Structures are given as structure tokens and as C-alpha cells.
Amino acid sequence: MTQMAALSGKNTNHSFVVGLGLNAPQNPHHRSSSCGSEPAICNKNAISQGSRNAHKLYGALVGGPDQFGRYVDRASDYIRNEVAIDFNAGLQSLAAGLKQREMTIQAKRSRNSAP
């Protein structure tokens, strides 16, 4: 729960999941979300152009702050703003586990309150 609170920004007022909360990342280092619609050219330079990402990558976890707690929402910063499968898999697993726990608690309450 502590890690989910940190990722969602409850501790720092800054979420690290795109689309979650008021101060969520807008510009993850992700080529498909950085490129405009066709006929726009989509290459590695599209990420570093400095403008906002063309498409919102809802639910993606970015790398997060540095060791001093600093975070800049810049697509060109692949270290702190990259969307990678290793930590996104962990986020999705955590979310699924929390949902399963919630459903189990609700089912027990429902059984206990049945006549």
C-alpha cells in the first residue's frame, strides 16, 4: 500500500502514473505517444523536440524521481521518464493484487451479512 501511495502521488503530490491524479506525467519517454498522427514523421527525434506528447499513454508508470527526489516531466529524459515493461508489470500486478484483496473482503462481508 505504501508503494502504491508513493506512485499515485499521495506522499509527494506528484503522481508517476500517466493520467492518475492532478500532477501526473504528461510527457513519458515513449515514441508512439510522442509522435503526431500520420503523416508526421515518427523517429527518435520526435521524443526530443520539447513539445508535449501528441498522445496520452494512460496508466503508464514512468521511472520516477532521482535520488534527491527531483523529477522533471521531459520526454527526452529517458532515465526518469521512460516507460519500461519491468516496472509497469510490477504496477499492474500490484493493482491486480489490491483489487483481488478488495473483492475478497467484499465477498466475506457479503457472506457474513446473508440471512
What pLDDT digit, counting tens, does each position of 53-108 carry?
A: 778 889 999 998 889 988 899 888 888 999 988 888 988 888 899 899 999 999 99
pLDDT at 105: 93
User: Could you tell me how far CA 93 lies from the centroid of its own chain?
Assistant: 13
Tell me: the pLDDT tens digits for 42-57? Answer: 777 766 666 677 788 8
**73 carries an active-site annotation:** yes
pLDDT at 48: 67
Q: Could you say which of 73, 77, 86, 102 is catalytic?
A: 73
Q: Is the pLDDT of residue 114 over 70?
A: no
Rg (CA), the chain: 18
Single out the residue of 15, 8, 21, 22 nearest to residue 71, CA to CA: 15
Mean pLDDT of 10-16: 81
Number of residues assigned to the chain: 115
**86 carries an active-site annotation:** no
